[in-house]
Structures are given as structure tokens and as C-alpha cells.
Amino acid sequence: MLDRLGYGAYNFHPGPPTYPGRAPAHFALYGRATEFGATAHVMVARADEGPIVGLEMFSIPPGTSVASLEGMAYVRLSLLFWTLAKPLARRSERLPQLPARWSGTKTTRRDYAALREIPRDIKKDELDRRIEVFGDDPDFGSPRTFVSAA
């Protein structure tokens, strides 16, 4: 399908190359990242693996929530799109690749769901951390997300 587009396809990812995959803002805050961003890249068969053609990075202010981090990332995505729109519309060849590379673990729905599960023997600091990052999820802490200790 991507090959049939002719001029290629681009994805605007609301996270930096160090957070490929699902819910990058959640995983960045859970991992206590200090920097975040937005990435534009060539789409290839596997998600978040194509050559990077645009990148906007910023520091994460202390106390940032998931919603505000996502908002900051979408502002950077808008800036990336604004910057790349003219070349995307006028060029028949692909945009130049940046030296940035994807890294880190590509997260999935399963990874996200696993952090919503609360083991009965969870330590208080880990529970607090999960509540801080995933607490706005309507399924967080529901009876079906509690798991017994193995």
C-alpha cells in the first residue's frame, strides 16, 4: 500500500525517537524522562521505524501531567507540519533524512495494559507512580486490573 502512494507517506509521531510506539507521553513520564519531543518520519511497513525527517525536542517541566505533555508534543507536531508542509507539497522526492535514529523499546497496547494492572503486593512508591501516570485512564484501578501475586 505504501509503495503505491508514489511519493511516499509520512507520519507525525507525538513523541521523540526514544519513545516509539503507543502512548509515548505515558511511558516517558513513567520512565521519568526529562526531555520529550515530536517526530516526523517516512512511513514503512513497521510502525515508527522509518527514516526521520523532522524532529522537535523540548525539556519536560517538573510536575508535567500526561495531558499537558501530550499538548506540548502536539504543539511541536503542528510546528513540524507547518515547517514541512511546503516541501511535502512541492517535492517529488523524499524529504532529506536527519541523522536521528529510532531507539528505545517500541511500546504496545499490551505494555500499556500491563502497567494498568495492579499486583496485590505492589509497593507504595510504584503504586503512586502508576497512579500519577495512568490514573486518568478510566480502566485504571478497576477490579479487573488487580492481579494476584504469583
| Backbone phi and psi for residue 114, each to the nearest 5 degrees, phi listed first | -65, -35
- In DSSP terms, 104 is beta-bridged to none
- In DSSP terms, 119 is beta-bridged to 147
Q: For residue 149, what pLDDT band results from cuts at 50, 70 and 90?
A: very low
Is the Cβ–Cβ distance between 39 and 13 less than 8 Å? yes
Q: Which domains does the chain have, with CATH numbers?
A: 3-137 (3.40.50.12230)
User: What is the rounded CA–CA span in Å between residue 137 and residue 37?
Assistant: 22
Mean pLDDT for the chain overall: 89
Average of per-residue pLDDT across 42-46? 89
Instruction: Give CA 67 to chain center in angstroms.
Output: 13
| Backbone phi and psi for residue 76, each to the nearest 5 degrees, phi listed first | -65, -35
Any idea what the Cα angle at residue 79 is, between residues 73 and 81, rounded to 5°? 105
Predicted pLDDT of residue 143? 46
Share of the chain above pLDDT 90, in %: 69
Residue 15 has pLDDT above 70, yes or no: yes
